[in-house]
Copies of this chain bind each other. A is one copy, B any other.
Amino acid sequence: MSEMAPAHTLPRGFRFGGTHCGIKRSGRLDLGLIVASEACPAAAVFTTNRVKAAPVLLCQAHLKRSAARMRAVVVNSGNANCATGAAGMRASRKTARAAARLLGCRQEQIFVCSTGIIGVPLPVQRIVSGLPDLESLIANRPQTFSEFTKAILTTDTHPKWAVSSCRIGGKHVRFIGCVKGAGMIHPQMATMLAFVLTDANVPAALLQRAVREISARTFNAITVDGDTSTNDTLLVMASGASKAPALRPSAKREYRAFVAALEEVCRSLALAIVADAEGATRVVEIEVKGARSAKDAGQIATTIAHSPLIKTAVAGADPNWGRILAAAGRAGVPMDPDRVEIWFGGVRMFGQKNGAGPSQPLRFSEKAAHQRLLAKDVKIVVDLKLGRGTARAWTCDLTAEYVHINASYRT
């Protein structure tokens, strides 16, 4: 990932930037702003956690009240504004009001996001004081996307962003997105925040449909440690500034091109989170096929992705196919161990011998398999041979380093 997205890849109709407003003691960027030239269709997916941080509740309410036409996103890092009672909601509202006043729009057209420590009151005055300078900065000298990607980080080791594009009605349509990581770190740091912008022309309802569909296959198909944060948020805004014709559900080819490009950005961002997870050294892709349904396949892929035993085996490059078989078996969906085929690191380890009979452990070189599992990207394939359902999931290895980071051993 290079330092900066080239200007020609940026979707038209947005400005963005980042600054330090005083929340992070380190002096790093901690306030980010995205402004659309005018209010435009938006869509979102939020955490399913019953404990929702104030900004999540406010975003949900604003999306509804604005009929999903949003003008701007204000993000702070360093404080998640979560579990701080009624004061938390007051702080998020105050942020939205300040941004709306600056931009001359209604306050329900503002998305507000926070990430960082939880349980500590948000120093909202610093955000309110920092916003005018940031706004005039990006209004006068448009910043690169890079400042925004940095302003949303907490413990991520680097900014994570991706671009893609497609053609709709002969027009070039651009997508850019960035994300901050899902690892949860002491003390009580949390949250995945993802922002995707496009200059496609797409009605809010159709955008929401696409975003929901895509997030199931991307952000919701990754796991680092199985924890769902109180602030997890994906926001997508579509400016329409590409001048491409408006997408319609009936225009299947255009809609598919749009979904493919949007999914490409989302998948890249999701995988970047996994790769940057705490202590991770390898990314694992789990592909399940031959299930009775896509849902069944997804269930098995997720169960494998969550297994600490498999994640530690990957950390040690240990060709332990037995753990994969056992995890598939406990996923709670139909499978027949006599038919299953397991590939691990490109090596077929369990399946039919000479193409006949029930599946069984196959001979392979442990040493060669170990070598292949030392690669940066490791693939697990489980073929149930029961039907046509497929699904993919992604995770990272579970290393001693992960434990060290998250235990914050004090002794």
Contact = CB atoms under 8 A, between A and B. Distances in A.
Interface string A32-64: 000000000000000111111000000000000
Task: Name A's interface SS.
Answer: loop
B84 A361 contact: yes
Interface string A293-326: 0000000000000111100110111101111011
A360 to B, nearest CB: 5
Interface string A115-126: 000111000000
Given A226-B307, A308-B308, A360-B85, A408 B316 contact: yes
Interface in A359-411: 359-361, 370, 398-400, 402-404, 406-411
A326 B407 CA distance: 17
A328 interface: yes
Chain copies in the assembled complex: 2
A195 interface: no
B184 A323 contact: yes
A133 interface: no
Interface of A: 47-52, 82-86, 118-120, 184, 186-188, 190, 225-230, 306-309, 312-313, 315-318, 320-323, 325-335, 337-338, 350, 357-361, 370, 398-400, 402-404, 406-411
The 9 closest A-B CB pairs, nearest first, are: A316-B407, A188-B322, A51-B329, A119-B361, A312-B406, A400-B400, A49-B329, A228-B330, A50-B329
